[in-house]
Amino acid sequence: MLKHDDLSNWFEDLRKIIFDTKISIDNIQRITHPTDDHEKQILKHGFFSHLYRQSRFTIIVQLCKIFDKNSNQKRNFYKLFNRLSSEKFDKTILDILRENGISNYLFRKRGNLDEKDLKLHLFSNRDDIINEIKSLTYEIEIQKEIIEKIIILRDNYYAHFDPDSSLPPVSYDELEVLVNLAIKIYNIMYSRLYDVTLLFDHTTDWKVDYFIKILAKQKKEQIEKRNKN
């Protein structure tokens, strides 16, 4: 039986994993796009090269946790989908679905609904969940090639099983596709169950942007001071 506490833990663990990837992809984007010559000089420092490599490591390893079908991955999307599709729900989950059904009824009663509204109504029964899972599974399969690449990188490079093998290149854009897909899947499943959407874009406290700006400003002031003397 799928208990609500267990389901909540699933969503919380997935949230942390996906948030990690979002922070890391944002920092990679910032490190590789300096805004002026002072930032370019700062970003040549070895610290930022290390941060870049560690951010890629985080993204690849964390994405593998949720997109790899391997049974060793305790929190992949496939296991969550399977549990939601096949296991009995406890009373709390059934109560949530029942309340969602009432909300859907009241929403429809207002009228003036477009096709998008009808597709994104709250989960009110298992059939709703299964239909959404089919759609999301298809979206994952579309990105199968990128997923296979990151699994190879994790297994043969980051895990050091076979460091001399020929490894597939994975671009920033490809990693971003999977990060955005993970966010989309999470928010569709979570919002249609709980009527709440999480904003993964709120990564300000973890962004490297602030430190780059401060260091670049300091570098600029040092150069200006030296030129005056």
Residue 9 is assigned to a structural domain of this protein: yes
- Answer whether residue 101 is part of any domain: no
Measuring CA to CA, which residue among 117, 113, 143, 129 is closest to residue 194? 129
Number of domains in the chain: 1
Q: pLDDT band at 70, cuts 50/70/90?
A: confident
Q: Tokens for 148, please give them.
A: 């296979």
pLDDT digits (tens, 9 = 90+) for 203-226: 888 899 999 999 999 988 888 788
Instruction: Identify whether 149 is part of a domain.
Output: yes
Inside any domain, residue 94: no
How many Cβ atoms sit within 10 Å of the Cβ of residue 49? 12
d(CA 26, CA 208): 9
Q: Is residue 110 part of a domain?
A: no
Can you give the pTM of this predicted structure?
0.89
User: How does the average pLDDT of the chain come out, rounded?
Assistant: 89
137 closest CA partner among 188, 172, 171: 188
Tell me, what's the pLDDT at 144? 96
Whole-number pLDDT of residue 138: 97
- Can you give the pLDDT at residue 75? 86
Is residue 109 domain-resident?
A: no
Tokens 């870049």, residue located:
52
Residue 100 in any domain: the answer is: no
Domain range for 220: 4-89+125-228
- Note the pLDDT tens digit of each residue in 122-139: 999 999 999 999 999 999
Q: What distance in Å separates the CA atoms of residue 108 and residue 119, rounded to the nearest whole number?
A: 12
* Inside any domain, residue 103: no
CB environment 136-166: b (16+ within 10 A), e (fewer): beeebeeeeebbebbbbbbbbbeeeeeeeee
**Which residues, in sequence order, are bridge partners of residue 89?**
2
pLDDT of residue 140: 98
